[in-house]
Amino acid sequence: MQWNDTAIILSVRKHGENSAVVRALASQHGVYAGVIRGANSKSNRGIIQPGNIVNLTWQARLSEHIGSFKAELSKANTAHIMNDEMKLAALSSACAMIELSLPERHPYPRLYQLFYRFLNDLLDDSDWLRDYVLLELDLLAETGFGLDLAQCAATGTDVELIYVSPKSARAVSKQAGEPYKEKLLPLPKFILENAVSETHLQYKEILAGLRLSGYFLEHSLLAPHNRKLPAVRERLIGMMKE
């Protein structure tokens, strides 16, 4: 059994003396695990870093085996942001969220492209924090837990949508939500606009977006599998609160 694909490294865990179990999101194959021999060698160490784009070959005698990887570097994203602690936290959080949320060996070609685009934004100094929030919302949508933000759940209007119901995952207008606003989640304007901002968003707007996506990631996607939001995501949030 063998396949070749473009992939994004998600995690690297030591396996024995000289090997590592690597998990990656492959463009046409989804999340796959494989063993890389000589993972600590000079040639491999710079390749198998979370966030790096690689040309990946997976091989196993039987399809149910974990198999082995051979990776050839395509783009060293991690090296370009090594000196930016917040960007590294966002990269690590994105990798951890995708690894936690997706079933293995199920293709998600659209999510791969969205993740790839986010990594490019991270390097280009665009509004990458905004794009991180949107990536989490895309992750919800791709796994069947997308939010319905087209119109108010109570009135059907598509104006002044400023809340989201934690029960229905649907938008709620300002007027309809006023009596229940303490129980509703804020809906930041930038999520509805779904367009590149002319100016960088303030941290409070990003934090509101992370609160929204985090609620549904935790309660809808992870909790049924007894999983929690990764610690690195909380670290990213903490950096914005400092």
Q: Are residues 145 and 213 in the same domain?
A: yes
Final residue of a domain: which of 46, 80, 114? 80
Is residue 177 assigned to a domain?
no
Percent of the chain with pLDDT over 70: 97
Three-class DSSP category at 151: coil
> How many domains does one find in the chain?
2
Residue 70 CA to residue 42 CA, distance in Å, equals 15
Q: What is the largest CA-CA distance in the chain?
A: 62
Is residue 206 assigned to a domain?
yes
Q: Which two tokens stand for residue 200?
A: 């960088």
Contact criterion met (CB below 8 Å) for 44 and 55 = no
CB count within 10 Å of CB 41 equals 12
Is residue 174 assigned to a domain?
no
Task: Give the global pTM.
Answer: 0.92
Is residue 155 assigned to a domain?
no
Can you tell me the mean pLDDT for 117-144? 92
Final residue of a domain: which of 62, 80, 98? 80
Q: Is the pLDDT at 29 greater than 80, yes or no?
A: yes
CB count within 10 Å of CB 208 equals 20
Is residue 180 assigned to a domain?
no
Is residue 166 assigned to a domain?
no
Contact criterion met (CB below 8 Å) for 14 and 35 = no
Write out the residue range of the structural domain in which residue 195 sits.
81-149+187-242
Region at 55 (left for phi over 0; alpha for psi -120 to 50; beta for the rest): beta
At 146-198, the pLDDT tens digits run: 999 999 999 999 999 999 999 999 999 999 999 999 999 999 999 987 545 54
């367009």: which residue's tokens? 195
Helix (H) or strand (E) holding 108: none
At residue 9, the pLDDT reads: 97
Three-class DSSP category at 22: strand
Q: Are residues 216 and 229 in the same domain?
A: yes
CATH number of residue 21's parent domain: 2.40.50.140
Contact criterion met (CB below 8 Å) for 65 and 18 = no
Residue 67 identity:
G
At 47-102, the pLDDT tens digits run: 999 999 999 999 988 888 899 999 999 999 999 998 999 999 999 999 999 999 99
Helix (H) or strand (E) holding 71: strand 68-75
At residue 117, the pLDDT reads: 94
